[in-house]
Amino acid sequence: MKLYIKNMVCPRCIMAVKNILNEQKIETLDVRLGEAILTGEPDKKKLQELRIALGNMGFELLDDYQQQLIEQIRTIIINHIHFSTDNGFNISEVLSEQLHREYSFLSKLFSATEGITIEQYTILQKIEKVKELLTYNQQTLSEIADSLGYSSVAHLSSQFKKVTGFTPTQFKQQGIGLRKGLDQII
């Protein structure tokens, strides 16, 4: 059985969900961002207990198919931007390939449900990654632009200012207080 879990955005989330599943004595085959694959199917009482335990840690067990699909879209985007070295990916191709759905269907569903387009969500995730990298101060803006697939530093800077209201340099001077959690983006 596969469970879809909202708000899993990093490796620590995976560890937290694994711990919750272990505490609930639910055996798993695998736990990844946004999902847990179980060895069996828990009864309704066990699922309700799991739902409560996940909720206490800021996660949400998703029952609705459309919500599951939305969470899969988010997870794929987060994985590609924050945890992958593939900077030249085409999000529409990646989503269609991994979810076995037409991109136009996924795009309409995401927009209708989330109130923004997949492209806008991708941009917001990229800008959050730029903020993180600027905070570390280990790469130049040119290196950051290249690592995230921007065509130029000017394009990155323009998009950054449009989203945050700051230039990358102004952001660096302001500090890390302006960053958001990945699950809070939208």
CA 40, 44, 46, 48 dihedral sign is positive
Question: Please, how many CA atoms are within 13 Å of residue 145, restricted to the half-sphere of its CB?
Answer: 15
- Number of structural domains the chain divides into: 3
Kindly state whether residues 83 and 94 are assigned to the same domain: yes
Per residue in 90-135, pLDDT (tens digit) is: 899 999 999 999 999 999 999 999 999 999 999 999 999 999 999 8
Cβ contact 24:46 at 8 Å = yes
Average the pLDDT over 139-162 and give the result: 94
Q: Which domain holds residue 57?
A: 2-63
d(CA 103, CA 9): 23
CATH number of the domain to which 48 belongs: 3.30.70.100
Asked if the model's pLDDT at residue 137 lies above 90, the reply is no
pLDDT digits (tens, 9 = 90+) for 5-22: 999 988 899 999 999 999
Task: Give residue-wise pLDDT tens across range 56-80.
Answer: 999 999 999 999 999 999 999 999 9
Predicted TM-score of the model (pTM)? 0.81
101 in the same domain as 81: yes
